[in-house]
Amino acid sequence: MSCEACALRRELICRDLRGERRLFVLSQVPFFLLSFFGMGAVGVATGVWWPIFAYSAAGMAFLGPGEMALLCRHCPHYARVGPRLRCIGPNPFPKLFSPRLQPMSGLEKGFLLLFIASLLLFPIAVQAYGACFFFAEGWEWGLLGMALAALGTAVAALHLLRVLTRHFCLRCVNFSCPLNRVQDDVVERYLEMNPAMGAAWKEGGS
């Protein structure tokens, strides 16, 4: 069925749309720029560099294989033919796991929420440590700058969550994601139009 003939074309993001991908990527830029700027400033001031390296490694692991194993493999986009995942969230890794269209388990949801919380809160915690360091050293301007950086990072994190939950999560076809906000009647209509996923969904929910 073509998108023009589909009754759900305005309800769900069912295709790899360039405009949606651009918005998805751009919505993350302020948070990650402020995060790395703040953690880099802490490294320069304190000589403690392991947080920024650990965050980079953990981020790559989560946004690549980790997210793919916990979340992406449950999505119908992942079941499409091809060696790479094609959706609005660019992923440089090939498909490392077999598709599993059944709903996510409670354990998978828990790990996903833990990773998301860590990804958002860790840079703010590092910057708070930097602010404490500047306060202890009596560097008033450094304290002010780091406090503003931490505040900016927190605001950017809230903005990112708002864009995700108010724009993408309302139309995402990965229905079992704990952040998904698609209405139940839309989910039912989609599953009826996609029998393979509907059968897997019912099997996983039984």
Q: Tokens at residue 127, please? A: 């910057």
In this prediction, residue 53 carries a pLDDT of 95
Cα angle, residue 82 at apex, residues 76 and 84 outer, rounded to 5°:
80
Q: What Cα–Cα distance (Å) separates residue 37 from each residue in 51, 55, 84?
A: 12, 13, 31
Residue 3 corresponds to which tokens in the numbers above?
A: 């998108």
- The domain locations on the chain are 17-39+48-162
125-136, pLDDT tens digit by residue? Answer: 999 999 888 888
pTM beyond 0.75: the answer is yes
Average pLDDT (29-53) is 93
Dist. CA 56–CA 59, nearest whole Å: 5
CA neighbor of 74 nearest in space, from 51, 98, 99: 99
Whether the Cβ atoms of residue 52 and residue 43 lie closer than 8 Å to each other: yes
Q: How far apart, in whole angstroms, are the C-alpha atoms of residue 72 and residue 97?
A: 9
Using one digit for the tens of pLDDT, what is the confidence trace for 146-161? 899 999 999 999 999 9
pLDDT at residue 2, rounded to an integer: 61
The encoded tokens of residue 188 equal 């039912």
